[in-house]
Amino acid sequence: MIVLLFTYVLGGAIGTAVPDVAYIDFLMPGIFIQVAVFGSTVTGVALADDMQKGLIERFRSLPMSPSAALAGRTTGDLVRGSFVVLLITVVATLIGFPFHAGPVKAVAALALAALFGFSFSWISATIGLVVKDVESAQAAGFVWVFPLVFASSAFVPVATMPGWLQAFAEISPVTVTVDSVLVLGGGLWEHLWKSLAWIAGILIVFVRLAINRYRKAVSDAHDWGSAHDIADNDRRRAGHRRGKDVRRRWSRG
């Protein structure tokens, strides 16, 4: 739907900012990245939901490492996100979007978009493990994603933005990755290394943060469960003592 909206409803007005190319050629790399980034927020929401339902505590009894549990979640979301990107590609092709550089670079461009979304899913996972409830994960997951995506070259050239915003947009990971997808679509390779550097940096930082938060969440859930069990045992013992006292009084009576 967003492809059709930008192409046929907004494309006539926005497209004047890129007179040298068809707007759909400029638009689609941004759409690929937007879909990948927005889809990554599902990871944090799902993890927060798992924590609310007590699923994280159950994982503690299984012979698995924290990294395996998180890798399974993020990899599953990567597969789902890749399918969505492919679906968007089919829609774009039907309305006239061509990959000018051939099938190999086209596949590489889509793979780069999916990998970028995968790196952002680790940010989302960290957020979901920190906030611990679904509503907060939804809010915290989107409040920073929207300005990051729209303050970039995803939909309009950076040169059309105010000077103070251009300084941010030019180094934004979204901008450099959108430009890299354009590069893989048939241009120069000057932006690709920046995108790969952003992806590597995000993964290095947030994989470790997410695993640490996951371990803490499992530990906290275990401590809470242990305290809850102790309280239950105390209540049962107190109830047993009260029952014995009642029976003694009845026997004396």
Q: Is the pLDDT of residue 216 over 50?
A: yes
Q: Is the pLDDT of residue 37 over 70?
A: yes
Comparison of pLDDT for 162 and 62, the residue scoring more: 162
Q: Is the pLDDT of residue 94 over 80?
A: yes
Q: Is the pLDDT of residue 215 over 60?
A: yes
Q: What is the mean pLDDT of residues 16-23?
A: 67
Angle ∠(183,188,190) on CA atoms, nearest 5: 90
Q: What is the mean pLDDT of residues 13-26?
A: 68
Please provide the average confidence, as pLDDT, over all residues in the chain.
Answer: 79
**Domain regions of the chain by residue span:** 2-220
pLDDT digits (tens, 9 = 90+) for 151-180: 988 888 888 889 899 999 999 999 999 988
pLDDT digits (tens, 9 = 90+) for 108-159: 888 999 999 999 999 999 999 888 788 888 888 888 998 899 898 888 888 8
Query: pTM of the prediction?
Result: 0.79
